[in-house]
């Protein structure tokens, strides 16, 4: 049974290297138009990743702002050996986890990911908004919510943010083999959970 279907490419978050190579120095120089353009390109992905970690809309919005402030401050040190998206998502994960530590509420990690789709916020549409269309897919989200953060994050990054295993490894600072292993374990657990639900 196929657990995930390939989603269409989110062109909003796909930037050509040439464009990015122009934008970064412009942002460093303080070009407000360039900064606004860079933020628009990535704000939805950053927000959704933050929300999937902290489970709170207001906090996710605050984290999104903090991420871009931190990214803009750190742009001069950005090295192209890591993809910009992976670099930005690393900042997002760090900011989100820092917020969780301050809050000291691990229960927030267990909030259902379907909140992403119920939240009424003015964000750009993304392919994952089309994922939950029937009862089976809703059950999948419930099962995904039961995974521990270690497995859940790799699934989110791979299937809903379309990062490569190399980029995921960069974001999480782990080996690519570990990414493959976690994805495999997550898929197996989801498959078993869904099969168990089928047999109810």
Give, for all 200 residues of the chain, the pLDDT tens digit.
Answer: 444 443 433 444 444 667 888 888 999 999 999 999 999 999 999 999 998 888 889 889 999 999 999 999 999 988 776 789 999 999 999 999 888 777 654 444 344 444 444 443 444 445 454 444 456 666 777 777 788 888 888 988 888 788 899 999 999 999 999 999 999 998 888 888 777 655 55
Q: Are 110 and 46 in contact (CB under 8 A)?
A: no
Alpha-helical regions (H) of the chain: 17-28, 32-54, 57-74, 84-103, 115-118, 135-146, 149-155, 165-172, 176-198
CATH number, domain 13-198: 1.10.1740.10
Length of the chain, in residues: 200
**Structural domain boundaries in the chain:** 13-198
Map residue 121 onto helix, strand or coil.
Answer: coil
């Amino acid at each position: 049974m196929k657990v995930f279907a390939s989603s269409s490419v989110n062109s909003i978050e796909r930037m050509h290297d040439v464009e990015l190579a122009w934008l970064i120095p412009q942002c460093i120089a303080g070009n407000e138009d360039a900064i606004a353009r860079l933020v628009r390109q990535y704000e939805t992905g950053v927000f959704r990743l933050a929300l999937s970690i902290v489970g709170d809309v207001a906090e996710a919005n605050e984290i999104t702002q903090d991420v871009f402030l931190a990214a803009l401050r750190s742009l001069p040190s950005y090295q192209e050996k890591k993809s910009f998206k992976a670099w930005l998502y690393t900042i997002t994960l760090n900011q989100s986890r820092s917020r969780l530590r301050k809050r000291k509420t691990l229960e927030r990690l267990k909030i259902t990911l379907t909140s992403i789709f119920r939240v009424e916020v003015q964000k750009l549409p993304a392919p994952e908004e089309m994922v939950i269309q029937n009862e089976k897919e809703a059950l999948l989200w419930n099962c995904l919510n039961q995974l521990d953060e270690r497995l859940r994050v790799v699934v989110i990054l791979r299937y809903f943010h379309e990062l490569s295993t190399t980029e995921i490894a960069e974001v999480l600072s782990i080996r690519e083999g570990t990414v493959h292993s976690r994805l495999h374990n997550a898929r197996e657990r989801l498959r078993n959970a869904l099969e168990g639900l089928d047999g109810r």
